[in-house]
Amino acid sequence: MELTTKITSKGQVTIPVAVRRKLGVKAGERVVFVFNRPGEVTFRRAAASAEGSSRGVLAGKTNGKVATVEEMRQALAEGAARRPSA
């Protein structure tokens, strides 16, 4: 599949819907540009950062106490299970 898009005066491009769907990316998510050889760049969905993927998973679960490492691991596992797969 080959798609064409236009660069705006601000240097921005719109990623076509078909490409966003294929990559599984939504507004606000990050992509990575890879420079392959002169004149060729590819991009892919960025891996979720540990900070971004774990933010808020303990909200309301600690009752004001400090969570143990095991409690944090369990909460992270539960949060990861709720996230849609790519």
The C-alpha torsion from 30 through 38 and 15 to 79, rounded to 10°, is: -20
What's the mean pLDDT in 3-14?
A: 93
Check residue 59 and give its pLDDT.
72
Give the model confidence (pLDDT) of 9-62 as tens digits: 999 999 999 999 998 898 988 899 999 999 999 989 888 765 555 666 667 776
The β-bridge partners of 33 are: 43
37 phi, psi to nearest 5 deg: -150, 170
Q: What is the DSSP string of 26-45?
A: -TT--EEEEEEETTEEEEEE
Question: What CATH number does domain 1-47 carry, 2.60.40.420, 3.40.50.720, 2.10.260.10, 3.40.50.880?
Answer: 2.10.260.10
pTM: 0.50
Domain positions in the chain = 1-47, 50-82
